[in-house]
Structure 1
Amino acid sequence: MNGVLYPLAAVLAWAALAYRLGRGLRQDPRDPALYSVGAAFALLGIIFTVSTPAVWARIDHALAVPNLSLLISQSCVIAFSGTIQCIIIFWTHPRPGSWRRARLRIVWVVGVLVAMAALFTAAGRQDEHPTDAAATYAQDPVYAAYLGCYIAMVAVGFTDIVRLCLPYARAAGRVWLSRGLRLCAAGAGLGLLYCLVRAATLIEGQLGGDPRRLEALVPVFAALGAMLVIVGLTLPSFGPRLSRIGAWHAQRRAYRRMYPLWEAVTVTVPEVVLDPSAAGNRGVVRHVERRLRRRVVEIGDGIRQLRPYMSGDGDGAVSAERILAACLAHEAARRAGEDDEPQRRARWDAWLAARPATARRPPPADVPAADVDHEDFAAEVRWLVSVSRAMREAGIISEMGSRT
């Protein structure tokens, strides 16, 4: 498990570092939060790169210090915990006061790192164990003190992260910042479970039990917790882009779904089309919002010209049938006036021939209109999409078709 989850977490951390620094240096190179986030990603990258068994063994062999990678990775976990606290302080406090709060965390972290280094050195040399060094030496009193110091500091740090994240997530005011803080809190929660497993390792070792009993859970809680924190730290940055992508997709889908209604209106009243060269383009990718607004305007202008032949609005299905009926009536009136546009007539005839015929009668005139606020663009789009969807399935009423 270490050889799979740890490299995956390392790749994610280094990728997040490259993304955050590349974007942050262009926007505001003096922002202290940028360097705190960068440091957190770098520390995670080091933690999971060093903890990968193959890398662990190579580092220890090159430096001739067995299990030195244990000290490196766990020291980075301590530093990471303190860095995350500093990031949250920068996010949730004004800049002048945030530095003072952050310095207290930094001093505390440095003190714990010095104590851990001293205990590791006092423990002496041991055999190499790339995947379970902590469990293997949990019975050694000096290693137990070292491990206890590590667990206590990490647990305090992760508890502080949860304590800082959750209240500010509710009051953040920015959707993606709030979501990022919640994900950081969830990742820290998995970190606390990791601490519980490591505490069980320590207790089992000191009581003569099997300290490896829960070792399989360590990479799961550590790697998944780190991944949640990585995503949480990057959400405030790339989250708004996801919103824009979602809005683009929704607008493009609405644009495409309006086509049956737009076609019926514009084949009957072609003069409402603002840009005939782009008419009927359903594979739109660029300028989607502008094209959607243009399509809404064209449909609205066309329906206004068809109003004299309509009995009122209704829900999607009712409005679709009324608009179809109005198209037929408008065309009949147009041809009665000796319309001499053969190209337009041919296009309208082709559209009519492509529609299915049905024997249903038109809806009664007293069907209540749909409760749509046409001043609200989003509501207007939803209503037009519902009408267009109904129109795609509706047929031309045979009794009306006979009039043309």
Structure 2
Amino acid sequence: MASTVHFIALVTIAVAVVYRATTWREDRRTPAGRALSLTMVHLFIVYLLGWAPFYWLVYDVLGQVPSLPQVIQHIAWMAMSFHAHLFVIRVSAPAGHLRRRLRFGRALFATALLLLLIGYVIGPLRLGLPIVGPSGTRDPGVLVYDLIWETHNIVVLVDVLLVRWRSRTIERTFLRVGVRFMGAGCLIWLVMLIHKVAYQTIVSLGHTLPYEENGVHGIQFLFSAPGVCLLVIGMTIPSWGPRVARYRRRLLAYHQLTPLWEALRPVGTATPVVALRDRNSRLRHRVIGIRDALIGPLRNHLSDTTLHLAREQALRSGLTEGDAQAVAEAAVIAAAVAAHTSGKPATADAGRPPDLRRAQDFDSETAWLVKVSRAYRRSPIVRAWSDGLRPGHPR
């Protein structure tokens, strides 16, 4: 069970690393982006060397030096924690504390790395162990070696949680969500490391526990699996989260534009979209088609007087300025469509078309037309203008 979970986690991390590689050009320009990418790379190395077939392959390739692949794995684990620490510091720590936090993280990593190599010499290398087994060992040198890298990671994870807890300065939505996921993953791994320290300490004192801490039959995967899931989501969601949100927003916008789009069909601007298979293309087609109708067939039926009267009526009903403008534009369109389909002549103020709101970019333009479309479908003011009723003029 544990080996299967480990392999699934390894594949998941590999996919995440490949995905993250697609944003490397953007990431390398910022220290936080580089730190996040390096965190994922080292996480992959940790899990790759934790996979038994690969571990023993590396062990043979390196000349069967005692526990050397495991040392590399533990260094990668420390490096992963170090870069995750740098990332969280750079995106969360207040500007006044940034340099001090970065110096602390770098000094801690450098010190722990030196101590780890010393611990390796007096522990696994001295004993000639090919690997420190899942049930631990009673040798004090091996215990010292394990406590060095585990203590480093515990201190780093605690500081990550403290930095994140004390700082609420992240403005980007999905970056903030990603750091929260990473914080949850760090919390689970912190529990795992504390358990690991307790297990190895008990074993080194001569006691035997009824279960293995890691390996094929170990319980470590109960902590590592959910921790990895949260970490991978946290490290990748700043990249794919906005894309998914934009896709969902545009998908909703396409359907929310339907009332306005259907209302303009009698105008004759709706063209077949059989060849447009992409959702973005169809949304763009709708937005452009709506605007084309307003500057084309409906232009001479758009009344500036109607816009002002409808907006005043909407404001009197208690709507905000933005909502009132959307209702007013929807009323202008409704009145223009009714006039066009009934064959009425152009409005008296056709020479000065109303000032309809326009946005600078496609997403903002779409969002505004969605607001107008909702008003077109829901507002009683719009229905009144569509039926030919004006404020103060009963039928």
Name the TM-score class by shorter chain.
0.5 to 0.7
Question: What SS does the corresponding residue of 1:65 show, helix, strand or coil?
Answer: coil
Give yes or no for contact 1:135–1:212 (8 Å, CA) kept in 2: no
Number of residue pairs the alignment of both structures matches: 323
Say whether 1:175 aligns with 2:173.
Answer: yes
**How far is 1:20 from its partner?**
3.4
Q: Aligned partner of 1:251: which letter?
A: A
- In structure 2, what is the Cα distance between the partners aligned to 1:11 and 1:5? 10
1:290 maps to 2:284: yes
The structural deviation recorded for 1:142 is 1.6
Paired residues for 1:29-48 under 5 Å: 29-48=28-47
The answer to whether the Cα contact below 8 Å between 2:188 and 2:223 also exists between their aligned partners in 1 is: yes
Partner of 1:248: 250
Provide the rounded CA distance (Å) in 2 between the counterparts of 1:126 and 1:194.
27
Of 165, 190, 193, 2:191 maps to 193
97 and 151 in structure 1: CA distance in 2 versus 1, 3 angstrom threshold: closer
Q: 1:17-57 deviations in whole A, cap 9, x for unaligned?
A: 444344242x4744222322222122111101111011112
Offset at 1:161? 1.3
Which runs of 5 or more structure 2 residues have no equivalent in the other structure? 307-313, 315-334, 344-366, 380-395
| Distance of 1:43 and 1:122 partners within structure 2 | 26
State the Cα distance separating 1:175 from its structure 2 match: 0.6
Q: Distance in 2 between matches of 1:128 and 1:247?
A: 54
1:394 aligned partner:
none
Q: 1:333 Cα shift?
A: 7.4
Taking the aligned partners of 1:376 and 1:331, their CA distance within structure 2 comes to: 24
Partner-residue secondary structure (3-state), 2:228: helix
Cα pair distance change 1:139/1:48, threshold 3 Å? same
Distance 1:86 1:280, change over 3 A: closer
Task: Please tell me the residue identity of whatever aligns with 1:4.
Answer: T
Q: Tell me, yes or no, if the aligned pair for 1:10 and 1:49 is still in contact at 8 Å.
A: yes
Q: Distance in 2 between matches of 1:110 and 1:382?
A: 59
CA drift of 1:159 comes to 1.0
**Counterpart position of 2:157:** 158
Q: How many angstroms apart in 1 are the aligned matches of 2:73 and 2:248? A: 39
- Aligned counterpart in structure 1 of residue 272 of structure 2, from 271, 278, 296: 278
User: Partners in 1 of 2:264 and 2:189 — Cα distance?
Assistant: 60
1:381 equivalenced with 2:384 (yes/no): no
Q: Deviations over 1:261-301 (max 9, x none)?
A: 855x456xx2x23x3433799966233443343566669x6
Distance 2:231 2:206 in 1: 34
Q: Against the structure 1 CA distance between its residues 330 and 39, is the aligned structure 2 distance closer, same or farther, given a 3 Å change threshold? A: closer
- From the superposition, tell whether residues 68 and 247 of structure 1 become closer, same or farther in structure 2 (CA, over 3 Å): same
Name the amino acid aligned to 1:81.
Answer: S
- Say whether the 8 Å CA contact 1:9–1:45 is kept in structure 2: no
Counting only pairs closer than 5 Å after superposition, residues 3-402 of structure 1 correspond to structure 2 as 3-25=3-25, 27=26, 29-62=28-61, 63-92=63-92, 98=98, 101-123=101-123, 124-126=126-128, 128=130, 133-168=132-167, 170-205=168-203, 206-210=205-209, 212-215=211-214, 216-255=218-257, 258=259, 263=262, 265=263, 270=266, 272-273=267-268, 275-278=269-272, 285-293=279-287, 377-382=369-374
Counterpart secondary structure, 1:278: coil
Aligned to 2:324: none
Give the superposition deviation at 1:127. Answer: 5.1
Distance change in 2, residues 1:51/1:386 (3 Å): farther
For the residues of structure 2 that align with 1:58 and 1:140, how far apart are their CA atoms? 26
In structure 1, the partner of 2:331 is none
Q: 1:75 offset after TM fit, Å?
A: 2.0
Partners of 1:179 and 1:204 lie apart in 2 by 38
Note the C-alpha offset of 1:149.
Answer: 2.3
| Equivalent residue, structure 2, for 1:401 | none
Counterpart AA for 1:67: S
Q: Is the 8 A contact 2:256 2:370 kept in 1?
A: no
Structure 1 residue matching 2:127: 3-state secondary structure? coil
User: In the alignment, what sits opposite 1:345?
Assistant: none
Q: Secondary structure at the match of 1:171?
A: coil
Letter in 1 for 2:65: V
Q: Contact 2:135/2:213 (CA < 8 Å) preserved in 1?
A: no
Gaps in structure 1 of 5+ consecutive residues: 308-312, 314-325, 335-374, 388-404
Structure 1 residues 262 and 140: CA distance shift in structure 2, 3 A? same
**Aligned pair in 2 of structure 1 residues 28, 141: CA closer, same or farther (>3 Å)?**
closer
Paired amino acid for 2:36: V
Q: 1:280 to 1:74 in 2, by over 3 A?
A: closer
- The superposition leaves residues 307-360 of structure 1 with CA deviations (integer Å, 9 ceiling, x where unpaired) of 9xxxxx9xxxxxxxxxxxx9xx999978xxxxxxxxxxxxxxxxxxxxxxxxxx
Say what the alpha-carbon RMSD is for the aligned residues: 4.3
Answer whether contact 2:251 2:279 (CA < 8 A) is retained: no
1:155 & 1:46 partners in 2: Cα distance?
A: 19
Distance 1:171 1:285, change over 3 A: same
Change (3 A) 1:285 1:67: same
The CA distance in 2 between the partners of 1:6 and 1:99, in whole Å, is 37
Q: How many angstroms apart in 1 are the aligned matches of 2:280 and 2:368?
A: 24
- Opposite residue 222 of structure 2, the aligned amino acid is V
